[in-house]
Chains A and B, each alone.
Chain A
Amino acid sequence: MEKIEKIMDREIAWRIFAHEFNTSNLHISEGDERAPNYIITPTGVKCNRLFIIGVITEVENIGKDNNLWRARIADPTGVFTIYAGQYQPEAAIFLSELEVPAYVALVGKARKYEPEDGNVYLSVRPEEINAADEKQRDMWVIETAERTLERIKIMEDALDSGLSGTQLQEFLEKKVKNPALINGVAHAIKHYKHLDRIIPELKNSLVHAVKTVTSDSGIIHNNPPEKTPEKPGIQELSSIKSTKSMAQEQKPDEADITEELEEGKDAKELKEIEEINKLKEPNEEPSKPEPKEIIADIIDRLDIGKGTSFSGVIETAQKAGIEAEIAESAIKELMDEGRCYEPKIGTLRKV
């Protein structure tokens, strides 16, 4: 008595936090090329459509002729990358006119982009986008946490059962109504080898997310609470780093750290926090040249006319004390800004 997914019915829009979304690295497509592509997340969401309410922190026009827009939507756990091109004219116009930061509600479809370098980038292609407000965002956070927790419980039960194959399928059919979720959970259990590590991470991110709703300041201290940490956000930082290292291969482009910290605050508060950070750490980041500028220098030095190798730039950057991840994202930024380009894969040239 297998439950059958009816194509007739409208596919639901899943509620997933960016952290879970970006941690996903399983993709399936059923049937011919016109069949929808799905990503399978660690909690077993077989995700095509999703619904997000978050804060747009950045909008960039990355195409020629103003026809491709990239934006970043932050939720309390991370950042979704969205692309709107000529086939999403309404979303593209909406983004082009937006003043950041801004709350938005977005319905979109999960997309993956796999350039030849072996990385997989997940993004969201908007179907509908509209302005939202703080209350809506908070409600979304609660709802998304609820839905995610339900899925985590299903996943935990399924793992505890130790079942697989048809037996697992039957076990899930008793607990889960949505056939897509049953299917997704089975896929996820087969694919994700470290669910014992991923699930606690997800739970932590849920706690963090829910606390952004209950907190006044937007700075969340995870359990156990520390006595007034000296540097706001430091603890946060370490937790984000660890989740990142797990998700690194899928990250669309490595968020710089301050942005990761922007989650769940409005702009005014953000500025205040930045100010505080500056006061407290006068010798830190602000006085150092940005990694991007160092990289620009490196490319400048290495490129003596015919371009230089991507890996060479990363190596040199590492010698200069810049982590590979940060170096890569800096290179991307430089490319986005049109200061360097990649004439062929693996080669960089300055402009």
Chain B
Amino acid sequence: MEIEYAPHVEEIKRALDNEIDEVSIIAELKKLLQFRVPLSEAKRSLIKKYGKGEKSIVRKLNEIKIGDHNIEITAEVLEVTKKTININNIEKTVFTGNLRDETAVRSFSAWSDHDLKAQDVINITGAYVRNWQERPEINLSPRSKVTKLSTRLNTLEESALRKLSEFKDGDINVHTQFAILSIDFHDINTKDGTKKIISGIIADDETKLPFTSWVIYPELVVGNTVEVKNGYVRSFRGIPTLNINEGSKIIKLVQNIEFREKVGSRIEDLIEKDGAYDIVVEGNILSIRPGSGLINRCPKCSRVIQKGMCRAHGKVDDKADMRIKAIIDDGTGAMTLVLDSRLTHKICGIGIEEAKNLARTAMSQKAVEEEIKRKLQGRRFAARGNMSKGEFGITLVANDVWEPHETLQDKAQKLLVRIAG
């Protein structure tokens, strides 16, 4: 009988680094098996009881996946900020930031600061990976252990020059050139108080992107064209954002890069990217999705609500609003187009008051949606805005929308030449 247990006891001991005496393991294992607990569960619970948990699995940052748990990571802290959030009316402090190893950069969050500072190189065990805005984020649990290392990460070789359009969330060691279109100074909270950072918009000849610099570099001035080495890319609200920090190199260039807006982009090309900033799409409105038209929002959190009940705030005085969620399709691809009340008014000519009247007369909120459908379904529009990918597919939140001016005859003549050729 004892012999039967032997290999399993050995296994448990191995997992616990031989730190526990055999007799008590055998006794407890027997007891669990008498309770008819499956062997695998019995072993797992004993390892957990006597050990500091299962051994963490070593992962590189480009390998982590949403749902991974108990992983071990060695990485450099790029920056840490302190945030106060409100959960069920209890204020909690959370520390968030970015970690980088030699493969990628990923965001992390932790309930305590673990004494982390930018540029620390750390080893984390017992971390898990959560879904944050459709991307993997490392989370430190109370069981996680953080050890500061005295070594540095290997310095990366200078990488090839890339265009802004190629940037993807998690890219590290990026090398690029761009012009600075606008900048803005912000204060952020760190555990040592506030810190100034710069955010703004940059562009190369064909792509605009937002950027954040965690250091006030004097080269970052509107109108300058600069070269940046060893930057990294994080997605913010679904849009790739260039990050510049202490480790980055920045050089002012003599030549200027001039941004030229691309016209007539195909949707199939746009949706290849993870996200895009300030782009123009053109296509036909092929469907007005449910939830368009007159809607009600919670005055506190702006969630769309039904019958004055907010998911977070309970019974509230709802605020009327309008929006359109439509499918725009150009025959090469499709995406969801979101228009706010201002843009709804611009292309449908219906304001909130008119919408309310429409709904009242028809005794149905749906009447507004139907009116919008009648006015837009099948028609061709151009819209400008930011594109992102998420749970609900590919979405362009528009900040402008208009009917494109069509040069039909011109297009027709060119097309005839192309068909012949």
Contacts and interface: CB of A to CB of B under 8 A. Distances in A.
A211 B416 contact: yes
Nearest to A132: B378
B206 to A, nearest CB: 18
Contact of A15 (B271, B331, B377, B415): B331
B379 A105 contact: yes
Interface stretch (A21-29, A64-72, A142-150, A307-315): A142-150
Contacts of B420: 207
Interface stretch (B99-107, B194-202, B299-307, B403-411): B403-411
Nearest to A150: B332
Given A10-B393, A53-B378, A130-B378, A107 B331 contact: no
A289 to B, nearest CB: 41
B287 interface: yes
A34 interface: no
B409 A105 contact: no
A262 interface: no
B363 interface: no
A150 to B, nearest CB: 9
A128 B419 contact: no
Contacts of B269: 177
B82 interface: no
A317 interface: no
Given A9-B393, A135-B406, A211-B416, A130 B332 contact: no
B287 A138 contact: no
A106 B378 CA distance: 7
Contact of A128 (B272, B378, B408): B378
B286 A149 contact: no
A206 B409 CA distance: 15
Given A106-B378, A177-B268, A12 B406 contact: no
B406 A214 contact: no
Contacts of A14: 331
B411 A142 contact: yes
B408 A149 contact: no
Contacts of A266: none
B69 interface: no
Interface in A150-207: 177-178, 203, 206-207
Interface in A1-57: 8-15, 51, 53
A51 B286 contact: yes
Given A130-B378, A142-B408, A177-B268, A51 B415 contact: no
A210 to B, nearest CB: 5
Contacts of A132: 378-379
B412 interface: yes
A142 B408 CA distance: 8
B415 A13 contact: no
B377 A105 contact: yes
A212 to B, nearest CB: 9
- Tell which of A10, A14, A131, A214 has the most Cβ of chain B within 10 Å: A10
Interface string B329-344: 1111111000000000
B209 interface: no
Contacts of A143: 330-331
A149 B419 contact: yes
Contacts of A147: 331-332
A206 B419 contact: yes
B331 A9 contact: no
A136 interface: yes
Interface string B343-382: 0000000000000000000000000000001100111100
Contacts of B412: 142, 210-211, 213-214
Contacts of A178: 268, 332-333
Contacts of A210: 412, 415-416, 419
A10 B419 contact: no
Contacts of A127: 287
Nearest to B379: A136
B418 interface: yes
A203 to B, nearest CB: 6
B228 interface: no
Contact of B406 (A107, A139, A144, A211): A139
A8 B394 CA distance: 10
Contacts of B394: 9
B331 A128 contact: no
A211 B417 CA distance: 12
B331 A12 contact: yes
Contacts of A51: 284, 286, 329, 331, 378
A214 B409 contact: yes
Contacts of A144: 331
User: Which of B332, B373, B415 has the most chain A CB atoms closer than 10 A to its own CB?
Assistant: B415
Nearest to A202: B419
B47 to A, nearest CB: 39
Contacts of B330: 143
A190 B362 CA distance: 55
Given A139-B380, A139-B408, A12 B416 contact: no
A178 B331 CA distance: 11
A138 B408 contact: yes
B328 to A, nearest CB: 10
Contact of A130 (B377, B393, B413, B418): B377
A13 to B, nearest CB: 5
A53 B151 CA distance: 66
B327 interface: yes
Interface in B66-121: none
Contacts of A11: 334
B2 to A, nearest CB: 53
B236 to A, nearest CB: 23
**Residue from B284, B333, B413, B420 having most chain A Cβ neighbours under 10 A:** B284
B393 A13 contact: no
A130 B373 contact: yes
Contacts of B332: 12, 147, 177-178
A125 B176 CA distance: 50
Nearest to A6: B393
Contacts of B268: 177-178
Contacts of B416: 207, 210-211, 214
A171 to B, nearest CB: 19
Nearest to A103: B378
Contacts of A128: 286-287, 373, 377-378
Given A10-B329, A128-B373, 5 more contacts: A9-B271, A9-B334, A51-B329, A138-B408, A142-B408
15 contacts: A13-B286, A128-B286, A130-B374, A135-B406, A136-B379, A139-B406, A142-B411, A142-B412, A142-B415, A144-B331, A178-B268, A207-B416, A207-B419, A211-B412, A213-B409
Interface of B: 268-269, 271-272, 284, 286-287, 327, 329-335, 373-374, 377-380, 393-394, 406, 408-409, 411-413, 415-416, 418-420
Which 4 residue pairs are nearest across A and B when measured between Cβ atoms? A105-B378, A130-B377, A15-B331, A10-B334
